[in-house]
Chains A and B, each alone.
Chain A
């Protein structure tokens, strides 16, 4: 189940973030509930849209120490993780997310192609709690970059 409902689809092949789009203005928002920063959207209808699941890496870093709650340590002990900010191809919107396990900062560089995947954020005896994460696009799809 989703760690938080309504922010992304659970399509395991092609998951998408659920955002907002001002119908006449064309501005995008994520999450949809945060629509409102564009003053030209006042009174504009905000429709729910699925955002691009690919984009370019805007920047990246690591979390070497366990954050405080509501972060949940997955498993028995804290393991450092990688965080990416990715500029969505179509929407020109930069979105944060963890990077899938097994990718280190040495594997990343600003501008590289990334794609959205669904992965476990943490688990308990009943459920995996799912979230979106970023993954480098497999090389075969990465052109001559």
Chain B
């Protein structure tokens, strides 16, 4: 797969601002344009990552953001893929660029979220698994994170202290990130003293819902060169894969896993496949990574990703953590940005924010959270119902 260039990145800081999401997206977009030294009137295509929590303007995000910046007649696409929306929006921009439909594009996602648990859409919908899981089981998002965490404890011997150590690590990284919402350094006692939400996970270990915005200016390598940018950060792989049947893990928001009675076995999982596709497109392997940005929806969830992206064998993630390998200064830092533990989640902006962090790292502009000599980074997450999301950036 051919690469595209990332010319500029921008973010609106994460927080609980009580502000229209459009303001967050517009600020991020203007910063990305300024960073790229590209004029808004030069942008030929806007790819918006939608929000389903901000009314109609959220469903037509590309138009909403283009309107905020001033309508210029550029082409638009708005897409939604839950937490994978940002990667999906980037993949659409890449397709437009590599097919020659446009040369330079803006990718934007932003959201303002209510406090507390995410809730399903209104109405009584007996065939919507998202409705059924709340009504019949009381299964919130943390329910699923906790099921995975408990399984790690029983299968691999991970402990609550391991999970807390993930949060401690990410909070130390987040201290150095001006866009993070939480910049306090937590210790294990802070976490042990926070209320239990879904056993074994406590409040400080579960991703909050945040407001924020993130944007990228991307172009063909030729267009970048025409602007004198000969060594840009490149998007070298994007994975937006679906699960492969049968996926033995119960994924959000379903009531049941796939059945592996007819074919397959219990070791087949969706999250392994997401990374595999990104590696394949980028022609890199886990050993090539200098750092990774993974979706720590919970502290324990970060450990699952170490295994899914091939940093270690299944069951060995806590060993990496305990050895300090995944902290800044370690062998393969994970979430140098501070991750969701420091940000909370602004759904359509989050996967784009992961790419922003990769760009700062690969340019050597990440300040105190810089991974020395970083050349290859991977971001990964997934959108509920089964949207894969992974991006590999290289320089």
Q: Which positions in A face B, CB cutoff 8 Å?
A: 3-7, 22, 25-31, 33-34, 37-40, 58-65, 67-72, 81, 83, 85, 90-98, 105, 109-111, 121, 131
Contacts and interface: CB of A to CB of B under 8 A. Distances in A.
Contacts of A91: 259, 261
A70 B128 CA distance: 12
Nearest to B261: A92
Interface residues on B, range: 35 or more
B363 interface: no
Interface string B117-128: 101100010110
B246 A96 contact: no
Interface in B206-251: 243, 245-250
A7 B147 CA distance: 23
Q: Is the interface of B mostly helix, strand, loop or mixed?
A: loop
Interface in B293-346: none
Instruction: From A39, A59, A60, name the one whose CB has the most chain B CB atoms within 10 angstroms.
Output: A59
Nearest to B146: A61
Interface in B255-303: 255-263, 266
Contact of A96 (B117, B137, B200): B137
Contact of B143 (A3, A5, A61): A61
Given A3-B135, A67-B140, 14 more contacts: A6-B126, A37-B258, A38-B262, A62-B146, A62-B198, A65-B117, A65-B197, A68-B117, A69-B119, A72-B135, A91-B259, A93-B259, A94-B249, A97-B136
A60 B137 CA distance: 12
Given A26-B262, A28-B261, A64-B197, A71 B248 contact: no
Nearest to B249: A94
B311 to A, nearest CB: 23
B150 A110 contact: yes
A99 to B, nearest CB: 10
A81 B125 CA distance: 24
Contacts of A69: 119, 134
A60 B135 CA distance: 18
A32 to B, nearest CB: 10
A109 B250 CA distance: 18
B199 A97 contact: no
A26 to B, nearest CB: 4
A72 B243 CA distance: 32
B198 A97 contact: no
A29 B127 CA distance: 14
Contacts of B132: 4, 7, 31
A83 B137 CA distance: 7
